[in-house]
Amino acid sequence: MSSPQPLRDRALDNLQFIRSAMERAGSFTAVPGWGMVVVGCTALAATWLGLRQARAADWLAVWLGEAVLAVVVGGAALVQKARAANDPLLSGPARRFGLSFLPPLLVGALLTIALYRAQLFALMPGAWLLLYGTAVATAGAFSVRVVPLMGACFMVLGAAALFTPFRGWPWFMAAGFGGLNIVFGLVIARRYGG
């Protein structure tokens, strides 16, 4: 007959095995729909503010401020949704989501510095939309089905922005970071609990 300690160890091992299988199969559902709606609204405000800037460098400052605001609002909303759903942020799906989401954003930050130094402001909206779309599409593989679709929409918009004359690109920023965030944010909030 088995002694109690190995029996307990085996039971714990089985529970750990079940948890691990669930984590590997599960998807990251704490994408914050309402947070995205707020970020979309602030992006529309940033577009309006950006249009009123005379110098391209000031326009860039407006959008960098918007990026910081989006990280704060989106991050806080994500943490709140994950906590409400008792969804651990360091679990398998969440970790894979984060690891897929961050690299394109880091590339975007580096490209922004390079484009600023070359004074190529007109290329920034296309590059930002494309890289944000790439981040969303790749991370979306570990989330609900609508997330990769949203990433693809950003990428299409980014590709179009890259080949659009200089005057057109503020509207791509409004349509992407404003419109797409609001539309997909509402879809996610309604279908996936906030």
Partner 1 sequence: MAKSNTARLTRADAERAVKTKPQPAPAELDRLIHERVRLAIVSALAVRESLTFNELKALLKASDGNLSVHARKLEDAEYITCVKSFEARVPKTEYRLTALGRRALERYLDHMEALIRATRAR
Query: What minimum distance in Å lies between the beta carbon of 166 and partner 1?
Result: 42
Closest approach of partner 1 to the CB of residue 81, in Å: 17
Q: Which member of 17, 48, 51, 85 binds partner 1 (CB under 8 A)?
A: 17
> Nearest approach, Cβ of 78 to partner 1 (angstroms)?
20
Q: Which is nearer to partner 1, 29 or 134 (CB)?
A: 29
Residue 85 is a binding residue for partner 1 (CB under 8 A): no
**Is residue 7 close enough to count as binding partner 1 by CB under 8 A?**
yes
* Given 8, 83, 190, 191, the residue binding partner 1 (CB under 8 A): 8
| Contacts by residues 168-175 (CB-CB < 8 Å, ≥ 24 positions apart) | 169/122, 169/125, 169/126, 170/47, 170/50, 170/51, 170/125, 171/47, 172/125, 172/126, 172/129, 173/43, 173/46, 173/47, 173/50, 173/63, 173/125, 173/128, 173/129, 174/43, 174/44, 174/47
Kindly write out the interface string for residues 24-63 of this chain, putting x where it contacts partner 1 by CB under 8 A and - elsewhere.
Answer: xxxx------------------------------------
Contact 168, 129 (CB under 8 A): no
Unique residue bearing structure tokens 């929409």: 153
CB 105 within 8 A of CB 67: no
Smallest separation, CB 29 to partner 1 (Å): 10
For residues 127, 50, 180, 124, the Cα torsion angle rounded to the nearest 10 degrees is 0
Give the range of 13-21, 69-77, 107-115, 172-180 binding partner 1 by CB under 8 A. Answer: 13-21
Based on DSSP, count helices (H) and strands (E) in the chain, helices before strands: 8, 0
The piece of 2-10, 31-39, 83-91, 182-190 that touches partner 1 (CB under 8 A) is 2-10
When asked if residue 76 is in the footprint of partner 1 (CB under 8 A), the reply is: no
Locate 187 and state its tokens: 């879809």
The 3-state DSSP class for residue 167 equals: helix
Segment lying near partner 1 (by CB under 8 A), choices 21-29, 122-130, 165-173, 176-184: 21-29
Binding site for partner 1 (CB under 8 A): 4-5, 7-8, 11-12, 14-15, 17-18, 21-22, 24-27
